Amino acid sequence: MTEIIDGNAVASQIRDDLTAAIETLADAGARPGLATVLMGDDPASQTYVNMKQRDCEEVGIESHHVDVDGDASPAELYDAIADLNEDPDVHGYIVQAPVPDHVDYREVIRRVDPIKDVDGFHPENVGRLVAGDARFRPCTPHGIQKLLETAGVEPEGKDVTIVGRSDIVGKPLANLLIQKAEDGNATVTVCHSRTDDLGAKTRSADIVVAAVGVPELIDGSMIGEGAVVIDVGVNRVDVSERRSEDSQTASDQSDTEKGYELVGDVEFESAKEKASAITPVPGGVGPMTRAMLLYNTVKAASLQEDVAVDL
């Protein structure tokens, strides 16, 4: 019987655990604050920002928001970042990606005060992570580690194949899993678009992590018997196209109304036949990413306010 790893349940537990730390901070007169910065009016980014603000309210983190006009100069965005670096009520903030083309996202990240970099993208935080001394683990890889831990899957000694080498998922996850640490000690293969014979690399793995952005790239034939499958992908697929492709595909009413449905990078049904455990999309990695942003914000507040909390 394949275990369906319930990311919503694990994320909910993490949020509950955070409330104790938030109370400890409150007793010391500190309320953690998270700011979101949105440049432009991309609807998907707006949705992500709204969700992050709602998450904050639910656990007692104060949320702040800064809108920057999509046509503004990079200097205007940098000014907003400088203000947040100075603001004592903001312990952490994220600049929602993507930023408009005329802005260099790497330069944006370099300007974030590393102690407030709750995404964990600043070069100082990346360096610390690689050196085995992470301050803020990037939210998605950290969420994946928590999912594995909760599912009782120890990476130690396991062969892990990660498909995708992005700076926000594949690379940091690979670095975390090879660390000489209790939640590391895995042997990791990182694949990408130039990888030869991807199926051979995924089939031989004990744990497969798909972070590609290609709908259902990885099917059951690419999964070894009994492997654990973590699907990071979030892809919008046109409902009508999908229906004509496969009349058996189930879509709920809300999907139909929106005209799309969300699918992962893994073909769930065929992969489930082979896997011992698998994350669904939605309801797997996504909620964990959001929960770990709250976790990092509480950690940032603890560091800046010099209040020890149990995390």
Which residues in 28-87 contact ligand NDP (CB under 6 A)? none
Cβ atoms of 93 and 35 closer than 8 Å: yes
Residue 204 annotated as binding site? no
Residue with tokens 């969420």: 143
Comparing CA positions, the residue from 133, 113, 105, 212 lying closest to residue 169 is 212
Catalytic residue among 96, 145, 179, 304: 96
CA distance 211 to 236: 15
Catalytic, 179? Answer: no
Task: Give 228's strand partners.
Answer: 207, 277
Number of amino acids touching ligand NDP (CB under 6 A): 26
The answer to whether residue 289 forms part of the interface with ligand NDP (CB under 6 A) is yes
236 is in an annotated binding site: no
Q: Which of 55, 113, 119, 206 is catalytic?
A: 119
Please report whether residue 280 would count as binding ligand NDP according to CB under 6 A: no
Q: Any contact of residue 283 with ligand NDP (CB under 6 A)?
A: no
Residue 20 vs 199, nearer CB to ligand NDP: 199
Looking only at Cα atoms, what is the longest distance across the chain? 59
Q: In the stretch 147-186, what mask flags binding to ligand NDP with x, by CB under 6 A? A: ----------------xxxx-xxx----------------
- Chain center to CA of 73: 29
Q: Is 274 a catalytic residue?
A: no
In whole angstroms, give the CA distance from residue 214 to residue 210: 9
Among 32, 138, 280, 286, binds ligand NDP (CB under 6 A): 286
Rule CB under 6 A: choose which of 21, 109, 277, 285 binds ligand NDP: 285
CB of 98 to ligand NDP, least distance (A): 10
Backbone angles phi, psi at 263, to 5 degrees: -130, 160
Looking at the Cβ atoms of 35 and 163, the one nearer to ligand NDP is 163
Alpha-carbon distance of 195 to 154, in angstroms, equals 26
Residues 197-236 close enough to bind ligand NDP by CB under 6 A: 198, 211-214, 217, 232-235
List Cβ neighbours of 104 (8 Å cut-off, separation of 6 or more): 74
Q: How far apart are CA 242 and CA 230, in angstroms?
A: 23
Instruction: Give the SS3 label for residue 211.
Output: coil
Residues involved in catalysis: 52, 96, 119
Contact residues for ligand NDP, defined by CB under 6 A: 140, 163-166, 168-170, 191-195, 198, 211-214, 217, 232-235, 285-286, 289
